[in-house]
């Protein structure tokens, strides 16, 4: 698409008509010209894409503020429109944790998008920019702000697509040729919600490590901390990390290549209690792995269960960092079994604040309640079930009927790391299995890739699939089916590996032990 450079005078609120959104009232539209914008965009935050150096971009920042009359809400949609070299496409970005968008992850992705010639857009979902739900979750003790939750869950996503597309038509005098959505974690859930509930909103969706089945997932995220409180066992980070390392060492060679990665978690069998009594070194000190460390690791891997042992939800994978990455500046670096220890060796739980906050505000609806007040597994199971009963229909995002998205011509790519320490990979597997049962031709429009060794959205040891978004574009626009995705990484010894990712349930398999295991051509996809 050849678009002439847009004059600076076009970036003015008076030059842009209010978009029409059924059920909404536009309160304000602002337009600000941003000149010579530059940014270093890391693939660690621009999920689904490679890193990019953005240089000297001029764009118009159009922010639309609106409300749904009668709901007492205020929502902002921010859209960045390149003043020249627009590629004719829209790229919407998602949020993370308890944030719908318009925070640093969204802005990082938007910077990458405009650097690649896209119009970029984000929404705050009407809940603001707090990383925790405390400011917006309750109208009053006992009463969830259901309009805010509904906006966060779904409605703002529909509105965002409508508003961004309307602004594009006003600004450039023609609509976008193609529209895309990209996100991970909460952003992945948002992408899934769009495919399920608003199938015509975007032509292509890249939804990585999706936090769907939220009403069950989020109580499950609190399980390790609840069990530490109930059992009175708070193992230090060193011991839990050593148990994880033991699992990796046991199962890493199973695929014929020792590279620090458990390639097939389902084939891995490891007994954490085999590590009890072993002496390990941490920070130049030695410690002995306790029964407590094995117990908490085992409970976290097994996942939530009723007192009877009946299944509630999945646990983490063996390679997931139970204690986080150390740098806890983002939710992606958090761990579900984190503890904090004093100089005298006394340890306490250090909750990630995701599942615990959900139980407090949405299930108990009491800002003064604390998860440590749970007195039994039976009580935990009751809270888990209450969450599912009350919020599955609002926030679950687990509708497996994607026929409307398929019929609209949409394409979607999902990936999930086998070392994800926050969002439970097996939940994504279950969803894809169920979609496949309902729609046998699912791979014609929706493909899911497991990523061995990848942590939550980014990080870990197995590399990050940064070619995902471009593969999506090629699928939508050129009909190029993503039979594999490329990936590369360095192991702990610094050896460079090139691999392929295979569409689930297939896995990359070394063709022969005689071949070079560091080369992508030495692998094929198989069951």
For the chain, how are helix, strand and coil distributed in percent, rounded to 5?
35, 25, 40
Nearest to 81 by CA among 57, 97, 100: 57
Nearest to 267 by CA among 505, 66, 25, 516: 505
> Which of 453, 470, 486 lies at the terminal end of a domain, its last residue?
486
Task: Check if 420 is active-site.
Answer: yes
Mark whether 21 and 130 lie in a shared domain: yes
In a domain, 526, yes or no: no
User: In angstroms, rounded to a whole number, what is the distance separating the alpha carbons of residues 285 and 293?
Assistant: 17
User: In angstroms, rounded to a whole number, what is the distance separating the alpha carbons of residues 65 and 166?
Assistant: 14
The total domain count for the chain is 2
In a domain, 375, yes or no: yes
In a domain, 463, yes or no: yes
Mark whether 19 and 148 lie in a shared domain: yes
What string of DSSP letters covers 198-212?
-TTS-SEEEEES---
The answer to whether the CB of 73 falls within 8 A of the CB of 126 is yes
Candidates 73, 145, 420, 491; catalytic one: 420
Helix boundaries (H) for 439-515: 468-478
Task: Check if 393 is active-site.
Answer: no
Mark whether 277 and 136 lie in a shared domain: no
Residues in contact with 249: Cβ distance below 8 Å, sequence separation at least 6, in sequence order: none
In a domain, 29, yes or no: yes
Mark whether 357 and 452 lie in a shared domain: no
Mark whether 195 and 256 lie in a shared domain: no
User: In angstroms, rounded to a whole number, what is the distance separating the alpha carbons of residues 253 and 416?
Assistant: 21
The answer to whether the CB of 453 falls within 8 A of the CB of 35 is no
What string of DSSP letters covers 104-150?
HHHHHHHHHHHHTT-EEEEE-TTS-S-SSSTTTSEEETTEE-HHHHH
Mark whether 416 and 462 lie in a shared domain: yes
Mark whether 267 and 349 lie in a shared domain: yes
**Residuewise pLDDT in 10s, the chain (527 residues):** 667 899 999 999 999 999 999 999 999 999 999 999 999 999 988 999 999 999 999 999 999 999 999 999 999 999 999 999 999 999 999 999 999 999 989 999 999 999 999 999 999 999 999 999 999 999 999 999 999 999 999 999 999 999 999 999 999 999 999 999 999 999 999 999 999 999 999 999 999 999 999 999 999 999 999 999 999 999 999 999 999 999 999 999 999 899 999 999 999 999 999 999 999 998 788 999 999 999 999 999 999 999 999 999 999 999 999 998 755 445 567 899 999 999 888 999 999 999 999 999 999 999 999 999 999 999 999 999 999 999 999 999 999 999 999 999 999 999 999 999 999 999 999 999 999 999 989 999 999 999 999 999 999 999 999 999 999 999 999 999 999 999 999 988 889 999 999 999 999 999 998 999 999 999 999 98
Question: 318: burial class by Cβ within 10 Å (0-12, 13-18, 19+)?
Answer: buried
Q: Which residue has the tokens 């809270």?
A: 383
For residue 505, say if its preceding peptide bond is cis, omega within 30 degrees of 0: yes
In a domain, 493, yes or no: no
Mark whether 208 and 233 lie in a shared domain: no
Give the domain range for residue 186: 8-213+396-486
Q: What is the pLDDT of residue 18?
A: 98
User: In angstroms, rounded to a whole number, what is the distance separating the alpha carbons of residues 213 and 476?
Assistant: 27
Mark whether 52 and 14 lie in a shared domain: yes
User: In angstroms, rounded to a whole number, what is the distance separating the alpha carbons of residues 267 and 452?
Assistant: 13
Candidates 259, 456, 491, 522; catalytic one: 456
Q: Which residue has the tokens 């980070």?
A: 237
In a domain, 254, yes or no: yes
> Which of 486, 503, 521 lies at the terminal end of a domain, its last residue?
486
Mark whether 309 and 221 lie in a shared domain: yes
Helix or strand run (H / E) with residue 77: strand 75-82
Mark whether 232 and 204 lie in a shared domain: no
> Would you give the end-to-end CA distance of the chain in angstroms?
42
pTM score above 0.75? yes
Nearest to 307 by CA among 208, 380, 358, 409: 380
Mark whether 370 and 288 lie in a shared domain: yes
User: In angstroms, rounded to a whole number, what is the distance separating the alpha carbons of residues 75 and 281?
Assistant: 51
User: In angstroms, rounded to a whole number, what is the distance separating the alpha carbons of residues 398 and 411?
Assistant: 18
Nearest to 227 by CA among 310, 315, 343: 315
Which tokens go with 416? 């999930």
Question: Which is it for the CA torsion 250, 251, 256, 257, positive or negative?
Answer: negative
In a domain, 46, yes or no: yes
In a domain, 468, yes or no: yes
Which tokens go with 61? 């920042």
Give me the CATH number covering residue 411: 3.40.50.1820
Task: Check if 185 is active-site.
Answer: yes
Helix boundaries (H) for 303-376: 355-358
Candidates 185, 263, 350, 387; catalytic one: 185
Which tokens go with 330? 């983002």
Q: Residue 451 phi/psi, 5° resolution?
A: -120, 100
């Amino acid at each position: 698409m050849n678009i002439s450079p847009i004059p600076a005078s076009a970036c003015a609120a008076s030059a842009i008509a209010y978009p029409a959104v059924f059920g909404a009232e536009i309160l304000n539209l602002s337009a600000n010209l941003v000149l010579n914008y530059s940014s270093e965009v890391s693939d660690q935050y621009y999920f689904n894409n490679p890193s990019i150096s953005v240089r000297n971009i001029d764009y118009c920042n159009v922010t639309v503020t609106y409300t749904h009359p009668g709901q007492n809400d205020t929502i902002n949609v921010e859209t960045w429109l390149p003043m020249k070299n627009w590629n004719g496409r829209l790229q919407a970005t998602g949020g993370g944790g308890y944030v719908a968008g318009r925070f640093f992850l969204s802005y990082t992705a938007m910077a990458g998008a405009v650097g690649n010639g896209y119009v970029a857009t984000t929404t705050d979902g009407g809940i603001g920019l707090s990383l925790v739900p405390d400011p917006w979750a309750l109208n009053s003790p006992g009463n969830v702000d259901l309009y805010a939750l509904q906006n966060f869950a779904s409605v703002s996503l529909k509105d965002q697509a409508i508003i961004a597309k309307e602004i594009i038509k006003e600004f450039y005098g023609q609509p976008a040729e193609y529209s895309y959505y990209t996100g991970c974690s909460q952003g992945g859930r948002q992408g899934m919600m769009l495919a399920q509930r608003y199938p015509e909103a975007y032509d292509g969706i890249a939804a990585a490590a999706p936090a769907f089945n939220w009403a069950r997932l989020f109580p499950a995220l609190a399980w390790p901390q609840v069990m530490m409180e109930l059992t009175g066992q708070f193992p230090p980070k060193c011991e839990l990390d050593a148990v994880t390392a033991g699992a990796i060492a046991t199962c890493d060679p199973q695929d014929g290549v020792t590279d620090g990665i458990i390639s097939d978690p389902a084939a891995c069998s490891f007994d954490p209690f085999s590590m009890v009594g072993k002496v390990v070194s941490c920070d130049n000190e030695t410690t002995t792995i306790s029964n407590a460390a094995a117990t908490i690791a085992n409970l976290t891997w097994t996942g939530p269960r009723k007192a009877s042992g009946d299944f509630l939800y999945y646990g983490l994978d063996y390679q997931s960092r139970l204690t986080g990455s150390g740098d806890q500046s983002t939710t992606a670096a958090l761990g579900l079994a984190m503890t904090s220890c004093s100089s005298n060796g006394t340890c306490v739980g250090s909750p990630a604040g995701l599942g615990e906050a959900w139980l407090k505000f949405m299930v108990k609806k009491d800002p003064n309640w604390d998860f440590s007040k749970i007195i039994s597994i039976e009580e935990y199971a009751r809270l888990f079930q209450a969450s599912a009963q009350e919020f599955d229909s609002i926030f679950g995002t687990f509708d497996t009927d994607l026929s409307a998205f398929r019929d609209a011509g949409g394409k979607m790519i999902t990936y999930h790391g086998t070392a994800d320490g926050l969002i439970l990979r097996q939940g994504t597997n279950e969803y894809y299995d169920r979609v496949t049962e309902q729609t046998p031709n699912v791979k014609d429009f929706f493909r899911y890739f497991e990523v061995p060794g990848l942590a939550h959205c980014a990080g870990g040891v197995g590399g990050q699939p940064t070619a995902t978004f471009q593969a999506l574009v090629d699928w939508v626009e050129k009909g190029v089916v993503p039979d594999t995705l490329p990936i590369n990484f360095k192991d702990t010894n610094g050896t460079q590996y090139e691999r392929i990712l295979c569409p689930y349930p297939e896995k990359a398999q070394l063709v022969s032990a005689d071949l070079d295991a560091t080369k992508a051509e030495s692998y094929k996809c198989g069951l």
